[in-house]
Structure 1
Amino acid sequence: MRRPWFVGALLTGALLLAGCGDPASGRDVAAPLPETTHQRAAASPTAAPSPPPTTAPVVLYLGDSLAMENQNVLGQELRRDLRARYTSAPYSGTTLCDYLEGTGERSLVPDTDKAAALVRGLRPDVVVLQFWGNSWGYTPCMDGITYAGSRERYLERYTADARRLTEQIAAAGGARRPAIVWVLQGPDPMTPERVRLVNRVYEEQAAASKDAVADAGRAVSLASDRYTWTRHLPCTAYERAHPGYCTEPGRGRTALHRDDDHLHFCLAPTTSTPKPCPVRSPGILRLAREITRAVAERTGH
């Protein structure tokens, strides 16, 4: 989903390509994730979220190219801190409607990896959803509705899709309805107000269905201004103590984005094939740690 900034804001915002550089060794990149299987189970759309599990939680992670680049590091954090059983199925360039059942050929996600299908097969305790809010020509299930074209129609549609996705996940979970954690996004350099409004959709949906949010976006934002984009932030104590995470130790700051990509957090060069980020990237670790904290809080771990 990543495109160099000079090719234009439209392609950058589209999130179509999520490729990072060639895989590199290192303890901070988890092993390849196992393939999933899908099994049918009874569904009840009105079931409440299941109580916190007493054993290691089962976590399912869905999303767009931000989730694509994050997925291995998030898995690493969840397994280490919560001993979680973890599966991810992100698709670059997607939006909420791509994971809805019934979207057919207009979706970028195959039927086997729709949110409800994966919930029926994996029986997760938590479903983590991370979406930047794509609405371009690359997301046909949005039916041409874009933020630039009509902010009102975009938010109305996005709100409806968030509700439908919640309902489908709940129905697929049945008596073991999984909790949903909506990941709040970081600042958008092109349309700052859009991200604020999308995050509000997530917060309102989580409140309505008694689910949760993970404000991961705050971890990659200025302390003084949650919605103003920045390329660098001051290094944390952890980043200063771990080589590679504080990218400019002499200046006490670390890079969140590459110079040619104002949106993604992987510091490796782009490739044409979407894949998890293969290098240490401070922004990705910050996001993953906040998501892990929210999952731990939700599951009681």
Structure 2
Amino acid sequence: MPSRPARRVLAALTAVLTLSLAATGSAATMSSPTAGGATATANPAAEPSAPEPSPAGEPGTGEPTPAESPSGTPTSGTPASGAPEAGTTTPGTSKAGTSADGTPGGGAPSGQPLARTADGGGRVLYLGDSIATENQDEVGRRVRKSGHDYRAAPHSGTTLCDYLEGTGASSLVPAAHKAAALVRDWRPDTVVLQFWGNSWLYTPCMEGVAADHPDYLARYGNDIRAITRQIENAAAQAGIPQPRLVWVVQGPDAFNPDRIPKINQLYEMHVVRAGGLLADAGARVSAPGARYTHTNYLPCNAEETAAGLCRDGRAQLHRDDDPLHFCLAPLTANGRPCPAPSPGVWRYAAAIADTVG
């Protein structure tokens, strides 16, 4: 049985889910356990949300686009023949956009320069789940400082398959906000993908393939490849160069510590095979030498010290009642850009912006 503090956390997250389900008119049975022994409400980060545009950084609407060709359609819960094989790399090791100690690099590696607009910047599109929803404004602030145009379309509670064209009613993301639709519409140079690996009961496009399901990793790997194909096809249809894809490497999971290293390894393996960059935001919210051990506090950095966010030399990363998100303001049912100075949000956004360059 979970400890008393853990039960308080689960109760708080259950309350958030209940509010969201009431707001959307949806119903879900919250009794299935997750891989870490927590209930489904505490499974991967992101409170569910109705498929509405995010309140900030909202992309323009547009006519729904046709479904992708078969080469880019979402996959079912059954592993395809291209399911990820046993890993040949260790999560956290040096890859494009990261250093050997897990610290994100300062931009594109050799051979992958960021395309620049006439005023010297690029066009950066940011997609993702509730972690992206809470940090979208801070990512935008930092990316714009480097001279880039920026557009964000995160949706809380989502996972990769929600952003695939062809998911229809099973998706929490509307047609105009699908990854391929936004690439055709806005023509970005870089697409940043922030996905924690949501798979719980309010992620219908996962079709019940939760983190403790034997097909979970194979399904997630298939969706990584599917969204890459759809983005590539959309760029070809729009007559633009292929955008750089930046995959955000995730931080520790308080409830299921063994899950995140496997998700991150899928991102690493994909970048090795298909190209792209890794933004190791997870390393910025982990203690040195304990990359996959969850912590609520880390020693302050210079930015946090200057902003007066330190207490006894430590920065708070999570609220005591929410070990999943990084915003220190209370969680809301549908998610929102974080309204409070929050070290975890700042660190996460800085890792992304440093990698974009």
- Place the TM-score, normalised by the shorter chain, in its bin: 0.7 to 0.9
1:127 equivalent in alignment to 2:191? yes
1:53 equivalent in alignment to 2:115? yes
Q: Could you tell me how far 1:267 is from its partner in structure 2?
A: 0.1
**Partner AA of 2:10 in structure 1:** F
Q: 1:58 to 1:38 in 2, by over 3 A?
A: farther
**Partner AA of 2:354 in structure 1:** R
Aligned partner of 2:228 in structure 1 is 166
Match of 2:212 among 131, 148, 151: 148
1:256 equivalent in alignment to 2:317? yes
- Which runs of no fewer than 5 residues in structure 1 stay unpaired? 20-30, 297-301
Cα distance in 2 between the residues matched to 1:178 and 1:139: 27
Q: Could you tell me how far 1:51 is from its partner in structure 2?
A: 5.2
Q: 1:51 to 1:282 in 2, by over 3 A?
A: closer
Q: Deviations over 1:92-123 (max 9, x none)?
A: 11111000000111111111100000000010
1:176 equivalent in alignment to 2:241? yes
1:199 equivalent in alignment to 2:264? yes
Cα distance in 1 between the residues matched to 2:319 and 2:151: 28
Q: Could you tell me how far 1:210 is from its partner in structure 2?
A: 1.1
Contact 1:65 1:90 in 2 (8 A): yes
**Aligned CA-pair RMSD:** 2.5
**4+ long deviations beyond 3 Å:** 37-40, 43-46
Match of 2:329 among 234, 253, 268: 268
Q: Could you tell me how far 1:224 is from its partner in structure 2?
A: 1.7
TM-score, structure 2 normalization: 0.72
Q: 1:217 to 1:50 in 2, by over 3 A?
A: closer
Aligned partner of 2:306 in structure 1 is 241
How many pairs were matched up? 273
**Partner AA of 1:17 in structure 2:** E
1:192 is paired with a residue whose SS is coil
The aligned runs of 1:7-26 (5 Å cut-off) are: 7=11, 9=38, 10-17=40-47
Aligned partner of 2:30 in structure 1 is none
Q: Could you tell me how far 1:239 is from its partner in structure 2?
A: 1.2
Cα distance in 1 between the residues matched to 2:345 and 2:352: 11
Aligned partner of 1:24 in structure 2 is none
Contact 2:122 2:189 in 1 (8 A): yes
Aligned partner of 2:60 in structure 1 is 36
Larger helix proportion of the pair: 1
1:6 equivalent in alignment to 2:10? yes
Contact 2:59 2:152 in 1 (8 A): no
Contact 2:161 2:167 in 1 (8 A): yes
Aligned partner of 2:346 in structure 1 is 285
**Partner AA of 1:232 in structure 2:** Y
